[in-house]
Every structure is written in C-alpha cells, then in structure tokens.
C-alpha cells in the first residue's frame, strides 16, 4: 500500500511539474547557454517517461497525458511555458498560445479529442445498458456536459477552450484529491468501528467483555510510542540529518539538507520527496508486524504531515516547495519552536454525529439491497413460471407433431394405375378400403336385400353381365359409389 501511495503522489506531482517544468529552470543559478540547453534536453525525457509508469487516478488520465506529450514536442509552446508563471497558467493565458503551435501537433490533438469523446460516449452507453435502459434514447450532448475537461459542443477539433478546460479541471481535481482521500479514510474508520460493534452483538456477555478488554489493550499498545516530532520542524529535520544522513546534528545546515533530499535535483521538494522526510516519524508509531497498528492509518498520517508542511511552507500554492520557500520557513518561529504534534489516535477522524449518519446510511443501503433481492426473487419466479408455460407448449407441440406423423404412416396409398385395352374393364380390388373419406363400408348383416337385376343392355355382347359379376362391378344402383350416376343408353344407339 505504501508503494501504491507513493506512486499516486508521484503522478500528481508529475502533472504539476509539467505546468511549471520550464519555469523552474529560470529559478536556477545562471549557467552558460550551452549548458542550459543540455539541462533542457536532460529534463525532457523525464517528462516523457512519466506517463508510462504513474497514474494520477483521474478518469481522464490517459487523455491528459497524451495532450501533454504532444504539446511538449512543440518548440513555440515550450518557450511560452518557460516565460509563463503558474498563476497565469491557471488563469488560462497559456492556453491562448495553442493557436501558434505547429499544424502537425494540432492535427494530433484533434485526433486525441475525437478519441476521447468516442470513449466517453461508449462509457455512457455502457452505463445505460447496465441500468437497464436499452430502449431509451441517449442524449449524448446532455450527458457529456458532466465532463468539464473538454468542450463537448465541438467533438471534432481541439481548440483553445479545450486546453483551458483541461488545465483548470486537472488543477482543481488534483487539489481536491487529498480532500477526497480524507473522506475515504473517514468512511474506512467508521466502517471499522461499525463492524466491531456488530461483532460484539454476536457475543455473549463474557465473550463481549474479553473482546472489549483486548480492544483497549491494543489501543494502549499503539499509543505507547516515542514522541513524534512536529513535521517540518528543526527538531524533526535534524533527526533525519543525524539518523538518515549520518551527519552531526550540530552541523545542521538547511540549504545543504535541501540539496541532499532533493532526490531528482530539480530545485524543488515535491510531495513524494516531502513525505520521504516523515518516514522516521511514522516508524515510531506504526509497525506492520504489530496487531495494533493499522497501515491504512499510517498512510493517512503521512498525508496529514505532508499537508501540514505544504500549508506552512508552500507560499505560492503550486504544490511544490522551492529552495527559497524552504529557507524562509526555517527562519520562522514555528520551525524553531514548534508545538507538539497530535497523531491520529489523539484526533478521532469522525464525530459522533457523522457516525450516526453513517450507520443510518448503512441501514438504508441494507434495506435497498433487501428490496432489490425481493424484486429479483419475484422476477425469478415469474421467469420460472413463463419457462414452465413454454415447456408445456413445447410438449403439446411435440405431441401434435407425433400425431401427424402417425396419421401419415396410416394413410392408404392410391391404387396403381392399370392400362385398359379395348373394352376390357380393370379389376378393382379392395373396394371397401377404397371408399372415399367419410364413407363407411356396409357390413353384410346390414346390407339391403338383393335387388332384381337390371335387364341387360342389348348393345352389350353376350356374357357382359357375367363379366361384370366376375370383375366385382356393382350391378345395382344401390351399389354405385357416391357421386356416380347410372348411364341410361338408347337401345337404338350403336
């Protein structure tokens, strides 16, 4: 966690350093021009390497760093940055110089902005899908207003307003970063206490008493540590001078101390370099091997110390401490005769009212989650019911298909065609089975009494009636199939 904390601090400092990168050079001692150019060339690679290794924690970190990279490649913009102080940068004067950068850089900035707008739109659509609003039209222009670091009304080109917005937003967001961290730590402490109280409720009286005694013992052990020096005071810095640097405290020299601990040699103490000065003090209070010491609290203590020194020493509020600012601070009474430093255990991170509101919020969250669970259960039951209905319909459909298949197998094929030559009459087999649909063959018991045979047609040759009987043809009108009529012929017809 300490590594991650240092990495985050380094990233915030890197962005601030970019805004005053060339301004810093003017504060150094005068050197020959050729050496100054060498100094600039040595500094540029550091600015280019930073984005690959650190992260500011801002949701537009990548966009911010890519814009910085391309602007630093333009010679005109670098020169203007060199002659612009921090206050003018914050007021947007530097952004106006965007109109004079090279066409190549402007083209790349346009492309970066289009990519960023596309990314934001994708995020908005993804968020809408997660919230179940797939059928709702998205007003991207309205939603993009929440992203103040770019001009959403012009999603195609990177203009002066975009650079101004980016500088202002990054400066404001980074300045509020510490405040947000304090709020997160406060929630962490309240949740830790809430969980402890909830755990006590699960214990019987004897176990609860033992747990409370153990908790009090841990608090006493944590508070039993050497005196912590006031951060940034002469006493505290002399201790670093002696124990970390191995020098005689009687020979303490503020200017020499500054140069010893300006690890990157840029003439400034950044946040990371300042926090490194407090390591000895923090080791007096926290040990990662001790049960009673919370490393999250250690990082919060480190942040408190760094903020205190910045507020006391950083006169121009650029989040950096110059050598001049440091030397001026060493002459103040607060440096020579500091007050005692109150650690976290002496300053509770939250009030009783804040704890009460936090617990009410947790109760409301739990109720909301329970309600969502009930709603999800109802939805599940409804889906299961629908699934059962679908399964029943599937079974019915399958049964219908099987029934149709059975009917197909039972269907009788039509009789084969027989070629008739001359007056020969084809023999018909299975007359009863060949009845049209809807007709039933009459059984022998229910057949009508035999009718008198018709007089044979004179035109027929002898033996025609006999042939008809032999071929099973109907000999009476009652035996004609439905839809057939007997043909009466004229005896005189051929």
Instruction: Name the token pair of 398.
Output: 């399958």
pLDDT of residue 150: 86
Tell me the Cα Rg of the chain. 48
User: Which H or E run includes 322?
Assistant: strand 321-322
pLDDT of residue 35: 36
Rounded alpha-carbon distances, angstroms, from residue 293 to 203, 257, 284, 303: 24, 31, 11, 17
Q: Can you tell me whether residue 436 is helix, strand or coil? A: coil
Burial class (CB in 10 A: 0-12, 13-18, 19+), 411: exposed
d(CA 378, CA 83) in angstroms, rounded, equals: 67
pLDDT of residue 134: 55
Q: Can you tell me whether residue 14 is helix, strand or coil? A: helix
pLDDT of residue 422: 53
pLDDT of residue 28: 32
Please answer whether residues 241 and 255 qualify as being in contact, where contact means their C-beta atoms are separated by less than 8 angstroms: no
pLDDT of residue 480: 53
d(CA 40, CA 38) in angstroms, rounded, equals: 5
Q: Can you tell me whether residue 176 is helix, strand or coil? A: coil
d(CA 407, CA 120) in angstroms, rounded, equals: 62
Q: Is the dihedral of CA 371, 372, 373, 376 positive or negative?
A: positive
DSSP state of 268: E
Instruction: Name the token pair of 216.
Output: 């009090």
Rounded alpha-carbon distances, angstroms, from residue 434 to 66, 447, 475: 89, 18, 18
Please answer whether residues 329 and 313 qualify as being in contact, where contact means their C-beta atoms are separated by less than 8 angstroms: yes
Tokens 């071929």 sit on residue:
471
pLDDT digits (tens, 9 = 90+) for 285-322: 999 999 999 999 999 999 999 999 999 999 888 788 99
pLDDT of residue 288: 93
Please answer whether residues 167 and 89 qualify as being in contact, where contact means their C-beta atoms are separated by less than 8 angstroms: yes
Tokens 């739990």 sit on residue:
366
Nearest to 18 by CA among 119, 166, 148: 166
The full DSSP string for 294-309 is: -HHHHHHHHHHHHHHH
Please answer whether residues 305 and 281 qualify as being in contact, where contact means their C-beta atoms are separated by less than 8 angstroms: yes
Whether the pTM exceeds 0.75: the reply is no
Q: What are phi and psi of 321, to 5 degrees?
A: -115, 115
Spans of the chain below 50 pLDDT:
1-7, 10, 13-14, 17-54, 428-435, 439, 441-448, 454-478, 486, 493-494
Please answer whether residues 92 and 36 qualify as being in contact, where contact means their C-beta atoms are separated by less than 8 angstroms: no
d(CA 179, CA 106) in angstroms, rounded, equals: 35
Q: CB-based contacts of 256: which residues, under 8 Å, 6+ apart?
A: none
Rounded alpha-carbon distances, angstroms, from residue 52 to 1, 3, 6, 55, 263: 20, 16, 16, 8, 20
Please answer whether residues 98 and 163 qualify as being in contact, where contact means their C-beta atoms are separated by less than 8 angstroms: yes
Rounded alpha-carbon distances, angstroms, from residue 75 to 64, 83, 101, 107, 286: 19, 13, 8, 16, 49
pLDDT of residue 122: 85
């Amino acid at each position: 966690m300490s590594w991650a904390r240092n990495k985050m601090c380094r990233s915030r400092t890197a962005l601030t350093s970019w805004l005053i990168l060339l301004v810093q050079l003017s504060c150094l001692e005068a050197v020959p021009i050729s050496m100054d150019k060498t100094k600039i060339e040595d500094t540029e690679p550091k600015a280019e390497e930073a984005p690959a290794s650190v992260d500011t924690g801002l949701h537009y970190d990548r966009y911010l760093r890519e814009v910085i990279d391309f602007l630093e490649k333009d010679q005109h913009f670098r020169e203007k940055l060199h002659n612009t102080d921090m206050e003018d940068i914050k007021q947007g004067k530097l952004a106006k110089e965007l109109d004079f950068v090279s066409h190549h850089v402007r083209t790349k900035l346009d492309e970066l902005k289009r990519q960023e707008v596309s990314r934001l739109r994708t995020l908005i659509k993804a968020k809408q899908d997660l919230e179940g609003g797939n059928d709702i039209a998205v007003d991207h222009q309205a939603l993009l207003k929440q992203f103040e670091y770019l001009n959403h009304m012009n999603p195609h080109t990177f203009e002066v307003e975009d650079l101004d917005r980016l500088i202002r937003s990054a400066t404001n967001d980074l300045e509020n970063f510490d405040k947000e961290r304090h709020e997160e730590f406060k929630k962490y402490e309240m949740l830790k206490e809430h969980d402890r109280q909830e755990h006590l409720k699960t214990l019987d009286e004897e176990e609860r008493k033992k747990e409370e005694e153990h908790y009090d013992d841990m608090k006493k052990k944590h508070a039993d540590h050497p005196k912590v020096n006031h951060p940034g005071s002469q006493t505290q810095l002399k201790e670093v001078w002696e124990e970390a640097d191995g020098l005689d405290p009687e020979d303490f020299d503020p200017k020499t101390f500054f140069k010893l601990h300006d690890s990157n040699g840029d003439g400034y103490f950044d946040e990371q370099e300042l926090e490194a000065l407090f390591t000895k003090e923090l080791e007096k209070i926290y040990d990662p091997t001790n049960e009673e010491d919370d490393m999250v609290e250690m990082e919060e203590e480190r942040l408190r110390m760094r903020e205190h020194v910045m507020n006391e020493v950083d006169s121009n509020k650029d989040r950096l401490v110059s050598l001049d600012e440091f030397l001026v601070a060493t002459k103040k009474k607060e440096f020579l005769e500091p007050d005692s430093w109150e650690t976290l255990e002496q300053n509770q991170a939250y009030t009783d009212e804040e704890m009460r509101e936090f617990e009410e919020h947790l109760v409301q969250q739990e109720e909301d989650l329970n309600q969502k669970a009930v709603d999800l259960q109802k939805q599940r039951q409804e889906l299961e019911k629908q699934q059962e209905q679908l399964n029943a319909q599937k079974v019915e459909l399958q049964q219908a298909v099987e029934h149709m298949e059975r009917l197909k197998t039972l269907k009788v094929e039509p009789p084969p065609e027989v070629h008739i030559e001359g007056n020969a009459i084809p023999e018909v087999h299975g007359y009863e089975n060949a009845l049209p649909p809807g007709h039933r063959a009459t059984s022998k018991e229910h057949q009508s009494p035999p009718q008198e045979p018709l007089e044979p047609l004179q035109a027929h040759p002898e033996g025609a009636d006999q042939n008809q009987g032999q071929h099973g043809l109907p000999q009476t009108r009652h035996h004609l199939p439905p839809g057939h009529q007997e043909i009466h012929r004229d005896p005189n017809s051929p």
